[in-house]
Amino acid sequence: MTPILLTVIQGAVILALAPFATGLVRWCKARLQGRHGASPLLPYVTYATLLRKEMVISPTVSWVFRLAPYAVLASTALVALLLPLTSVDGALSASGDFIVVAGLLALGAVFLVLGGLDPGSAFGGMGASREMTLVALVEPSIIAVFAAFAVTSGSGTVAKMLSVTGMGLLRHPGLLLSLIAFVFVALSENARYPVDNPATHLELTMVHEAMVLEYSGPYLAMLEYASSLKLTLFAILFANIIIPMPLMTVDSGVSAMLMIIASTVFKLCAAMGLLALLESSMAKMRFYRMQEYMTIAFLTALAGLILALA
């Protein structure tokens, strides 16, 4: 297969799976709470419905409000193409430098924040200020986590970092700490527990939901979809680091491709199950304790990096 084809396949698989990830984690959580729960496939219907709905746009907003959904979706999708999710040899995966990935994630977050502030509502501002704080404070942890992987694998691209995964982690025990820090980072980046409660109806406590409060119709679908996408790519990346299963390369055939797609679905299910378990077993953190969370994340990442260097 050609690198271009690999990237296209990766893009198609991840884009197709993204709504399922959101639906699955909701379903698992419902089950863990003793509820029936809606079908994990519901988000597909939701997004499709939203795409056909009328949009209500505030007269306060400017062009930034309209640009934001595209910018958020595009930056997230680009990250999904850069990272080694189903293949390591994609046309763009060699370009997936971790600093670029961190930068693109921040770029998406910035546009989400701008979109949240544009309608001039107190809730949007609230979510925006909190999100921006999280984005700013999580930056050192991201860099430290990936630096540890870069040092052990000898490469700055995330695709090459996957050379030390699975059993390889055992040879570099420090990376386990980096992995824990990665979870901290992922939870914060995706606005999940204990940083944010994605299911809350309390406007005053929201982070992500408060920013998208003024969006409706197709724009809302794009933003929700982008957040599903982000969740999916973090989950699969995490699974790829832990589970030593080969990904597609230029040498893979069709059967390998089908195998890998199936294993991707499995990885996603496992990761979402774990996330649901985590979210059902803890309370959300007080927002002004967030610097403690970030400090723990950072110190864990730093310890991982130091052990990786030793």
Partner 1 sequence: MQLSLIQAGLTACLVATFIAFPLAFLLRKGLLRRLSNGFLVIGTGIGALSAMASMTLKTGAVPLLPVIASFGVTFRLTPLAAPFFVVVNLVACIAAIYAMRYVDENRDAYDVPSLHGVTALFIFGMQATLLATSALGFMVSWEIMSLSSFTLVMADRSTASRKAAMLYFVMAHLGALSLMAGFLLLAAGNPLADFAALAANARTMPLREATLAFAFFFVGFGSKAGLVPLHTWLPEAHPQAPSHVSALMSGVMLKVAVYGFILCAFLIIPSLPAAAALTVMGIGLISAVFGALHAAVDTDIKRTLAWSSVENLGLIFLMLGTSLYARGQGLHALAAVAFAAALFHCIAHAIFKSGLFLSAGAIAHAVHTRSLERMGGLAKRMPTFSGAFLVLALAGAALPPFAGFIGEWMYLSGLVASLHGIAPATQAVLVLALVGTAFTAGIAVFAMVKLFSISQLGASRSAAAEAAHEPNDAIRLPVIVLAALAALTGAFASQILGVLGLGSLIMNGTMSSETIVTGRGTSLSPLVLALAVFGTLLLSLIAKRFLSRPSKERVYQTWNCGQPINAHMEYTATAFSAPIRFFFRNLVGVRKTVVTIPTTKGNSFLLKREMLLTGRSFWESHVHEPISRGFHGLGNWARRVQSGSIQLYLLFILVALAATLCIAI
Partner 2 sequence: MTTHDYIDLAGGQVGETRNGLTLAAIAPEKLADACALLSENGLPLSLLYATDDRETDGSFGVHVAFALDEAHGWLMLSAKLPEDAPRYPSVTAKVVAAHWYERYAMDMFGIVAEGHPDPRRLVHHENVPEGTHPLRKDFAWNTKLAHADVPYPMHHVEGEGVYEIPVGPIHAGVIEPGHFRFNVAGERIITLEGKLFFTHKGVEKLLEGKTPTEALPFIERLSGDMSVSNALAFCQAVESIAGCRVPERAEASRSLLCELERVSMHMHDLANIAGNGTGYTVMAANGFRIKERLVRLSAKLFGNRFWRGAIVPGGLAADLKDEALREIALVIKEADAEMRSFLAMCLSSDGERERLETTGVLSREGALALGAKGLPARASGIGRDVRLTHPYAAYAAFRPTLVEERSGDVYARFIARVRELEDSSRLIAELTATMPAGPIRAECHAKDGIALGAVESWRGEILCALRIKSGRIDRCMPRDPSFCNWALFGEIGPGNIVPDFPLCNKSLDLSYSGTDM
Task: State the Cα–Cα distance between residues 106 and 275, nearest whole angstrom.
Answer: 23
Q: Which of 95, 200, 216, 263 contacts partner 2 by CB under 8 A?
A: 200
- Judged by CB under 8 A, the number of residues near partner 1 is 82
If one asks whether residue 143 binds partner 2 (CB under 8 A), the answer comes out as no
Q: Which of residues 129-158 bind partner 1 (CB under 8 A)?
A: 129-130, 132-133, 135-140, 142-144, 147, 150-151, 154-157
Q: Please say which residue, 27 or 293, places its beta carbon nearer to partner 1.
A: 293
DSSP assignment of 167-184, as one string? THHHHSTHHHHHHHHHHH
For the window 73-112, what string marks contact with partner 2 as x by the rule CB under 8 A? ----------------------------------------
CB closer to partner 2, 205 vs 249? 205
Q: Decide if 166 contacts 243 (C-beta within 8 A).
A: yes
Give the bridge partners for 16, in sequence order. Answer: none
Q: What is the dihedral of CA 300, 306, 309, 310, to 10 degrees?
A: -120
Number of residues that bind partner 2 (CB under 8 A): 30
Instruction: Using the minimum distance from each CB to partner 1, give the nearer residue, 82 or 237.
Output: 82
Residue 282 interacting entry, from partner 1, partner 2, none, C-beta within 5 to 8 Å by type:
partner 2
Task: Spell out a b/e string for 199-214, using b for 16 or more CB atoms within 10 Å of the CB, else e.
Answer: eeeeeebbbbbbbbbb
By a kind-dependent CB cut-off of 5 to 8 A, residue 171 interacts, out of partner 2, partner 1, none, with none
What DSSP string describes 115-138?
HHHTT--HHHHHHHHHHHHHHHHH
Q: Is 32 in the site for partner 2 (CB under 8 A)?
A: yes
User: Could you say which residues in the range 12-31 bind partner 2, by CB under 8 A?
Assistant: 29
Minimal distance in Å, beta carbon 50 to partner 2?
Answer: 18
- Given candidates 64, 199, 258, 262, which one binds partner 1 under the rule CB under 8 A? 64
Distance linking the first and last C-alpha atoms of the chain: 39
CB contact burial 31-42 (16+ within 10 A = b; e otherwise): eeeeeebeebeb
Candidate residues 48, 64, 99, 282; the one interacting with partner 2 per rule CB under 8 A: 282
- 194 binding partner (options partner 2, partner 1, none; Cβ < 5 to 8 Å by kind): partner 2
| DSSP codes, 183-237 | HHHHHHHTT-TTT--TT---GGG-SHHHHTTT--HHHHHHHHHHHHHHHHHHHHH
- The answer, yes or no, to whether the previous bond of 218 is cis (omega within 30 of 0) is no
The listed partner (partner 1, partner 2, none) that binds 242, CB under 5 to 8 Å by sort, is none
197 scored as a contact of partner 2 (CB under 8 A):
yes
For partner 2, which is the closer residue by CB, 83 or 195?
195
- Residue 289 is classified by DSSP as G
Residue type (1 letter), 198: P
Which residues here bind partner 2, judged by CB under 8 A? 29, 32-35, 122-123, 126, 129, 193-194, 197, 199-205, 279-289
